[in-house]
Chains A and B, each alone.
Chain A
Amino acid sequence: MDVKVTELVIFTVLFVFVSVLGFVASRWRRPDSMEHLDEWGLGGRNFGGWITWFLLGGDLYTAYTFVAVPALMFGAGALGFYALPYTVVLYPIVLLPLVRLWSVSHVNGFVTPADFVRARFGSSTLALLVAITGILATMPYIALQLVGIEAVLKAMGVEGKWPITIAFLILAIYTYNSGLRAPALIAFVKDSLIYLTVIVAIIVIPAKLGGWDAIFSAAGAKFSAPAAQAAGSGVLLNANNQLNYVTLALGSALALFLYPHSLTGVLAARSRDTVKRNMAALPAYSFVLGLLALLGLMAIAAKIVPVGADPAAGVAGDRNTVVPLLFDWAFPDWFTGVAHAAVGIGALVPAAVMSIAAANLFTRNIWTEYVHRDAGPVEEARVSKIVSLVVKFVAVVLVLGLDTQYSIDLQLIGGVVILQTLPAVALGVFTRWFHKWALVAGWAAGMAFGFWMLWTVPNPATKHAHFGGSAFKLSELGFDTKWTIYAGFLAVGLNLLVAVAGTWILRAAHVADGEDTTKPADYTAEAGDPGVREIPELVGDGKSST
């Protein structure tokens, strides 16, 4: 494929622009010193409504979402639309848990979900499990951001791994330099570009294709092929995948704010009210996500052929290139460059926040806990900065070393894995009824069951026998049905059962439980309350704050 020069130039100019912005960000709302974990890792914990909206939106709706969801629609139709109900139910579900978590974290100086679990259940073992789970689940997520950049580069005719490596090196250096301020500032550019692209796309493309009627009848024609029918594809859901659609939406919603990077964005907010207000304002992004998903169906009508595909030989090719190629088909070169930049820059914001979150987990819950107990905030900031580099390096190696398809499977495992922290983190915000060892047992049971279920799912596209998707066949458990269900949903169900049963047994046996060092009033505290101390004062005494 030829290199598309105009597109590439526009893309590069915008990419360089945000990189400069990333470096300048360290001077934005400048603190006296960046040598404090609250400054580097949480942007000073002082972001107001608008910045939080852009940061959280830029952080949660990743380039991978923008590329992979339409790709799924392109391949499977209605099932890919689960991403919409997922982000619709998300905010009503997390509103209360998040404001309570913000309050208790603000009062006690928590930086990570594991910090909270350690204080709530008095268990460093449980905190370590939560920290490791978070890091493991985040790593492939970062790698997938690279896949997003790779997809636009491929669509512009740029092959090879060097361009992505350079892009990530730049990202690594300015994240090291500016911390959370970099993605927060870049998020403004990212989202402006995304909104612009989506609005133009949703007007221009259907008009070029002859209206929505034409788009849906083209999709219907494609999905009526016997092979597509057998795979459960269609413009609507069939009888067997409705349960999967619903559990996938609900399970993904429950998982999203358990990811450490989502919490990083929340904890950086200035006040409890900022967080709450954002839960009502963030769904604006969901609307954009829904419209973007429809691009997958438009690509069918526009007869887009993914890079590397050979329809005659039955080779699917890289479906992630569908959206970039559709832009190329529909727009003049210069605007295609802008649209590609939107996706590329869209990968940088989440990747930066994710690496910061993973680094904070390592620093607070592994380094300070097990390696150097006397690490003060200055040392914490230094360790976090270095770990953020290591995390990104591992992500690059993951993508360079493994098949892209394989890293998508890893992300799928990530979702099932992170869900296993739900009882300790999300329910822990409301109750500390659970016994700490019962939570550990539940985590282990959920993990084992989750991995077993994922192992049973074959991938017809790549002919892998295992880890080919998250739709678990209920018939594997002996039920006489063709229904499928989201594996993570069942796994967390078992986790909860074990945690509840375990708590009863351990209480009956009078096994010693941990001590809760948080107080009920902590969970409703608001910034500026009398008696609620300022964070820098809390952690600034040179000692670890937990």
Chain B
Amino acid sequence: MSTTEETPSPSEQPPARSDRNHWYWLLLVPIVVPLLPMLYNGSDPTLWGIPRFYWLQLLFVVLSVGVTLVVYRQTRGR
């Protein structure tokens, strides 16, 4: 790749974006919560006969999708 034409004129400058956005901190929730076994390593309450260990961790998928969607919407185009 040539490096000679690396300074585009001001009009060609890409829009100033930053990956610094406080919304990204929200992503820590679905990262930390599924890694806390004391929350889900038990049988009660059961749901349709499924121990908490299994149904609660499946529910974390919904948590992860929800949070990631919120972060996506809030940081879109920036």
Contact = CB atoms under 8 A, between A and B. Distances in A.
Interface of A: 78, 81, 84-85, 88-89, 91-93, 95-96, 99-100, 108-109, 211-216, 235-237, 242, 245-246, 249-250, 273, 276-277, 279-281, 283-284, 286-287, 290-291, 294, 517, 519, 521, 523-526, 529-532, 538, 545-546
A458 B15 CA distance: 56
B4 interface: no
A419 B24 CA distance: 24
B41 A242 contact: yes
B43 A236 contact: yes
B22 interface: no
A84 B63 CA distance: 13
Contacts of A89: 30-31, 34-35, 64
B57 A531 contact: no
Given A245-B37, A250-B35, A280 B14 contact: no
B32 to A, nearest CB: 8
Contact of A236 (B27, B41, B61, B71): B41
B37 A216 contact: no
14 contacts: A88-B57, A93-B31, A95-B24, A95-B27, A95-B71, A100-B19, A216-B50, A236-B42, A276-B72, A279-B72, A280-B68, A524-B14, A525-B17, A526-B17
Nearest to B65: A283
Question: Taking chain A's interface residues, is the majority helix, strand, or loop, or is none over half, making it mixed?
Answer: helix
A91 B65 CA distance: 9
Contact of B49 (A212, A273, A281): A212
Interface in B1-21: 1, 3, 6, 8, 11-15, 17-19
A84 B76 contact: no
Interface string B41-78: 11100001111011001101101110111011001110
Nearest to A109: B1
Given A250-B35, A283-B68, A526-B77, 17 more contacts: A81-B53, A85-B57, A93-B31, A211-B48, A212-B49, A212-B50, A214-B49, A236-B41, A273-B77, A279-B72, A287-B61, A294-B54, A519-B6, A529-B14, A529-B15, A531-B12, A531-B13
A524 B19 contact: yes
Contacts of B48: 211-212
Contacts of B75: 276
A88 B51 contact: no
A279 B13 contact: no
Nearest to A100: B19
A531 B12 CA distance: 5
A95 B31 CA distance: 12
B17 A88 contact: no
Contacts of A532: 14
A170 to B, nearest CB: 35
For A212, A215, A281, A526, which residue has the most chain B Cβ atoms within 10 angstroms?
A212
B58 to A, nearest CB: 5
A145 B51 CA distance: 32
